[in-house]
Amino acid sequence: MYDRYNRRVNYLRISVTDRCNLRCVYCMPAEGVVQLSHTDILSFDEILEVVHVAVDMGVDKIRITGGEPLVRKGIVHLVKMIAEIDGVKDLAMTSNASFLSKYARDLKDAGLHRINVSLDTMNPEKYAEITRGGDINAVFAGLKAAEKVGLNPIKINCVISNSSDEPDARMVRDFANKNGYQVRFIHMMDLETGYFQPVEGGEGGNCASCNRLRLTSNGLIKPCLFSTRGYSVRELGPQEAIEMALKHKPKRGGLNPEGSFYSIGG
């Protein structure tokens, strides 16, 4: 499918939960996160229905994200059911990897192709500070497990404050290079001010070639991370919600003062 700026849209990012075991400083508040109620969160059947319709409309690339996708109960089963849909050529996940060592084998067997793991520093204390309590050793164990089971490529998402030459980013790059992982540097974004830049080493943030739509955990198809628009698959049905999002996909990102990374999926 094509939008009004003739961009081919073939990529759907699905946030399967707004919940997360971590509280990264740039993503979530330390306390007082208002969580969606369980009834607001799409069921697996609802997600699968959206994927079926999206694939019929031309999507062939799916990414599962969150919140933290590995905290959603039954996630391996969902991956399996999405992988079995004819027409899904590329199935990826973005995870903080806290629980990846436990799930890597099952995810691979379920049909996940590849994984992006978020890691902004190589320093355990700093990692714990950024994530407000995360254990960097769990991430390393998760990466090793992903490698062992053959998830490929493994990409590291590294959020940077200013430049990919800053010390933490350099150390993450060295670590990735040593281990055969790819690395993408994501400039810290601000939905409220509309601040974003292209991802270094990736495709995100490049509006002219943007090929994506997003499905939030509560069932809104969003045309852009930096847009307040969202079309409910429950109210409109998946086809109309996707058509509306496609029709309103902006030429470039604007502001999204109501949005948050953990609910839209980053």
Write out the residues near ligand SAM by the rule CB under 6 A.
20, 26-27, 65-66, 68, 94-96, 118, 157, 159, 186, 188-189, 261-262, 265-266
Q: How far apart are the first and last CA of the chain?
A: 23
Q: Between 1 and 188, whose beta carbon lies closer to ligand SAM? A: 188
> 154, 146 in Cβ contact below 8 A?
yes
A 10 A CB-CB count for 77 gives 12
Q: Does 261 bind ligand SF4 (CB under 6 A)?
A: yes
DSSP 8-state class, residue 194:
T
- Smallest distance from ligand SF4 to CB 265, Å: 8
Decide the pairing of beta strands 114-118 and 90-95. parallel
Q: Among 7, 54, 68, 78, indicate the residue that binds ligand SF4 (CB under 6 A).
A: 68
Q: x/- site string to ligand SF4, residues 14 to 53, per CB under 6 A?
A: ------x-xxx--xx-------------------------
| Residue 186's binding partner out of ligand SAM, ligand SF4, none, with CB under 5 to 8 Å set by partner kind | ligand SAM
Burial bucket for residue 239 (CB in 10 Å: 0-12, 13-18, 19+): middle
Q: Between 65 and 218, whose beta carbon lies closer to ligand SAM? A: 65
Report how far residue 192's alpha carbon sits from residue 54's, in angstroms, rounded to the nearest whole number: 29
User: Number of residues in contact with ligand SF4, rule: CB under 6 A?
Assistant: 13
H-type alpha helices, 150-191: 167-179
In DSSP terms, 222 is beta-bridged to 214
Q: Between 222 and 249, whose beta carbon lies closer to ligand SF4? A: 222
| Residue 101's binding partner out of ligand SF4, ligand SAM, none, with CB under 5 to 8 Å set by partner kind | none
Cα Rg of the chain, angstroms: 17
Which residues contact ligand SF4 by CB under 6 A? 20, 22-24, 27-28, 66-68, 96, 118, 261-262
